[in-house]
Amino acid sequence: MQLIISDLTNIQSVAEQFLAAIGQRRILAFYGPMGVGKTTFIKAICHVKGVTDTVNSPTFAIVNEYTDGEGEPIYHFDFYRIKQLAEVVDLGYDNYIDSGAFCLMEWPELIEPLLPDEVLRVHLSEDAQGRRVIDFDL
């Protein structure tokens, strides 16, 4: 499936379409180059899910926890600074992934061996017109 973010004015509606399309999927891995808009799209997803907390990239903390509009946790990971898989294991990664909570991961390619089978791989890119393209297979 492919969705297009033409500019920031339609990012909320694209996030709504994305969430409707993925159904009950809870573990999402966002791939794409630096600056393509992974964090911005994750912010839009969190907004649609009712998060009122400030959503920002957990580059240094590795994981941020937010609460959605139903009071459920959402975990937002950024593995950009991970040097060894042991760092991810030590932070309790399995507990987060096995919690049943919504898990949103940036830079998942750095922990590929730890990703569960049920992960939804979401690829973001920029087309020639500067629009953001979101590709994923259900």
Helix residue ranges, H only, the chain: 11-22, 38-48, 85-90, 93-97
Q: Which residues contact 104 (CB under 8 A, 6 or more apart)?
A: 28, 30, 42, 45, 46, 74, 75, 76, 77
pLDDT at residue 88, rounded to an integer: 96
C-alpha gyration radius of the chain = 14
One-letter identity of residue 24:
Q
Assign residue 123 the CATH number of its domain: 3.40.50.300
Domain limits at 96? 2-136
Mean pLDDT, 10 residues at a time, the chain of 138 residues? 95 98 97 96 97 91 96 97 95 96 97 97 96 95
Q: What pTM did the predictor assign?
A: 0.95
Q: What is the pLDDT of residue 138?
A: 87
Task: Please give the Cα distance from 14 to 11 (Å, whole number).
Answer: 5
CA distance 81 to 137: 27
pLDDT of residue 18: 98
- Whole-number pLDDT of residue 103: 98
Sequence-ordered list of residues with C-beta below 8 angstroms from that of 36, at least 6 positions apart, any chain? 124, 125, 126, 132
Q: Is the dihedral of CA 36, 18, 43, 74 positive or negative?
A: negative
Give how many domains the chain has, as a whole number.
1
